[in-house]
Amino acid sequence: MIKEVVKLENVDKIYKLGEVEVQALNNVNLTIREGEFVSILGPSGSGKTTMLNLIGALDKPTKGEVYINGVSLKKLNDKQLADLRLRTIGFIFQAFYLVPWLNALQNVMIPMMLLGKPPSYRKQRAMELLKVVGLEKRAYHKPTELSGGEQQRVAIARALANEPALLLADEPTGNLDSKTGAMIVDLLEKINKEKNVTMIIVTHNLEVAERTRRIIRLRDGKIIADEVKAI
Amino acid sequence: MIFSDYFGYAFTHIKNKKARVFLTVLGVALSVMAMVSIISITEGFGEAIQLALNAQFSTDTLVVVDPLGQTVLTLKDVDLLKSRLPSTNYKRVTPVLIFSAEVSRVGKAESVITLVAGASTNEIRYVWPILYVAEEGVLPQGDLNPDEVILGNSLAKRLNVHAGDMIRIRSEVKDLQGKVITTITRDLKVIGILKLSGMNLVGVDVDSSVIMNFDTSRMMVNPPDLRDKISLILVQFNSPKFALELQSEIQDNIYGGKVRAVAFAAYARAVENVVMLFNSLLLSLIIISVVIAGVGVMNTMLTSVRERVKEIGTNRALGAKSSEILTLFLVEAFIIAVLGMILGTILGFISVFVIDKSNLLQSAINLGGVIYIKASPKIVLQNLIIWNLIVLFATLAFSYIPARRASKVEPIIALRYE
Ligand SMILES: Nc1ncnc2c1ncn2[C@@H]1O[C@H](COP(=O)(O)OP(=O)(O)OP(=O)(O)O)[C@@H](O)[C@H]1O
Ligand SMILES: [Mg+2]
């Protein structure tokens, strides 16, 4: 049997804003196996980011259980959650979130620095990763000197730094034009195929979603469809 | 994270925020500079005071003077005190005659008006042993011979006189009304020159004075019908306690308030109190400097944390532990503090040098001519190190607040808004 990388069991997420309660997720059940390329599609406010944050161990469900590689996140303390994010999960954000005062190479090295890898190793691997995303010539440029698509590719290289088993991307093409967006999806697809990295892409763009093999549709915090395309 | 990476990351950030970091470092540096100057001044002042307390204020001694001219002190008063004071309490009662005279080197035209003290060197050298040290020649173990003198250091330099040279002293003999009766000129042999002391004793600047045989001085300044007139009487006791206790006994009981008896210990106490006040004032200034340094760094860091929320949130999402974020910010504060301390210490040394050269300190503690001390700021490395460590500790303590705030940044909240 193929390993279950992500498993959500009866997950509710309710945000409390004073008196008002917002139910962002409503009894979500979901299993994602190793090597899958999944998109989560839904309109704005449907709970996509909320779900991704729960999977990424950035937030905790109000009810239910989240398992990563079979381990319940409930059982992990803050430090262990950080460690899980560091070693197992890679994040790609819509707004890239590169550190503005570090150059591309230094940005890619951050996760390896956090992991305690020696500087020489970090530099070499960061260069390799920049080569993978086609930016080895831009290694010493600051984010402000890079285009949006280039910044997102740096962010992808950074997400790959510690060889995560699971890559989470929250609208990775949301701030890019469709051509550049398509290129980013190409890159993610390639990484998924070549490295067998489990990949979850959040999007409200159907074109992007259709590039993935499995599409999970969300509406009002509920999964309303979960289709796997035949190859 | 490897320990050195905290420094690497913090250094990279500092390098990219040079302008702001420079201002913060400068803030710390100015505080440290003030601190270094204040400490050095306090140190130099304290040392000078200590010397003064040991020498100028021979605390076991009191001086009897007649400041208002109500009573003419004479040698009879010396006998009176000896008979009235319990003999077990005092060591010596000795008269001193002070007058101004014109002094020149024999054969030279240049002359100086200065103070001459006629006294028994066999007595006063026990009152001020620290000052009774020759730079040139030999100081007598007993009394000076009638034709011998000892010169203060500056006076000897000024007149270019050495031990063995002859000097000429011209004095005026005045009656009680101050009318000049006659002038007397005598040539005397310089047998010793005192070391530079910077001291002013009972109104005489030691460095520019002449000490002569007591009887010779009487002949040079007292009219024939008042040969026994003296300027003051020194009474040295067995302990400062007696000196303090017997002040009023002499002044009020023996003399009915017509003279003043002042124990040097009383001066010493007053000065000690002033010094203590001075020191505590300076200490509070130092503490204020330290707090200013700490608050300055804290303030910059609070702004920095606010600006870096996205970066912190991203790094947390990438797997940084909150303790690592905390350490990262503390390390940055540490680097800023150390840079400030280095710059501040250098600036402090410069300001100490300037203070020293400009003699600011000397005039500052020439308190109305009564207490006159030559002090220079003094750099005591050990104190500077201790205080710099306190600055470092304070800066880190103040930085803990923003650093902790940084470590509490929640990634989902930090990353929600673009
Ligand atoms: N921290 C929060 N506090 C309160 N409500 C929140 C919070 N985060 C999300 N919500 C609410 O939860 C619901 C789901 O939000 P979520 O961000 O998951 O939507 P989304 O599908 O990612 O939308 P979008 O496509 O606009 O990014 C929304 O109604 C949102 O307003
Ligand atoms: Mg979203």
Whole-number percent of chain A with pLDDT over 70: 100
* B259 in any annotated domain: no
My answer on whether B9 and B119 are in the same domain is no
With bands split at pLDDT 50, 70 and 90, how would you rate the model's confidence at A45?
very high
Amino acid, res. A5: V
Task: Name the DSSP class of B67.
Answer: T
* DSSP secondary structure string for all residues of A128-192: HHHHHTT-GGGTT--GGGS-HHHHHHHHHHHHHTT--SEEEEESTTTTS-HHHHHHHHHHHHHHH
Q: Which residue has the tokens 């040279």?
A: B165
- CA B33, B34, B39: angle at the middle one, nearest 5? 100
Smallest Cα distance from B293 to chain A, Å: 26
**pLDDT per residue as tens digits for the range A117-159:** 999 999 999 999 999 999 999 999 999 999 999 999 999 999 9
* B260 in any annotated domain: no
Out of A21-30, B142-151, B172-181, B259-268, least confident range: B259-268
My answer on whether B131 and B168 are in the same domain is yes
The contacts of residue B126 (CB under 8 Å, 6+ apart) are B91, B92, B236
| Residue B276 structural domain | 3-56+269-415
* B263 in any annotated domain: no
With bands split at pLDDT 50, 70 and 90, how would you rate the model's confidence at B417?
low
My answer on whether B410 and B314 are in the same domain is yes
* B172 in any annotated domain: yes
Domain boundary among the residues B217, B238, B259 is at: B238
**B4: pLDDT strictly greater than 80:** yes
The minimal CB distance from A83 to the residues B1, B319, B415 is found for B319
My answer on whether B134 and B23 are in the same domain is no
My answer on whether B141 and B30 are in the same domain is no
- What is the model's pLDDT at position B365? 54
- What is the model's pLDDT at position B209? 95
Domain boundary among the residues B215, B238, B261 is at: B238
Phi, psi for residue B192 in degrees, rounded to 5: -155, 150
My answer on whether B313 and B184 are in the same domain is no
Amino acid, res. A1: M
* B251 in any annotated domain: no
* B51 in any annotated domain: yes
My answer on whether B284 and B300 are in the same domain is yes
User: pTM for this one?
Assistant: 0.77
* B249 in any annotated domain: no
- Interface predicted TM-score of the whole assembly (ipTM), two decimals: 0.95
Yes or no, beta carbons of B12 and A102 under 8 Å apart: yes
Best mutation site among A14, A15, A59 for ligand 1, i.e. most ligand atoms within 8 A of its Cβ? A15
My answer on whether B169 and B147 are in the same domain is yes
As a residue count, chain A comes to: 231
My answer on whether B332 and B399 are in the same domain is yes
Q: What atom of ligand 1 comes closest to residue A94's alpha carbon?
A: 27
CA distances from A99 to A117, B10, B95 (A): 19, 13, 85
* B75 in any annotated domain: yes
CA distances from A168 to A90, A151, A153 (A): 6, 17, 14
Yes or no, beta carbons of B318 and A158 under 8 Å apart: yes
My answer on whether B108 and B217 are in the same domain is yes
- What is the model's pLDDT at position B77? 92
The structural domain count of chain B equals 2
Out of A178-182, B42-46, B276-280, least confident range: B42-46
What's the CA-to-centroid distance between A133 and ligand 2, angstroms? 25
Q: Which residue has the tokens 């054969």?
A: B107
Domain boundary among the residues B184, B216, B238 is at: B238
My answer on whether B205 and B79 are in the same domain is yes
Q: Say how many Å lie between the first and final Cα of chain B, rounded.
A: 28
- What is the model's pLDDT at position B364? 54
Indicate whether residue A109 lines ligand 1 (CB < 6 A).
no
**B6: pLDDT strictly greater than 50:** yes
The contacts of residue B316 (CB under 8 Å, 6+ apart) are A82, B322, B325, B409, B410, B411, B414
Q: Are B46 and B322 in contact (CB under 8 A)?
A: no
My answer on whether B34 and B158 are in the same domain is no
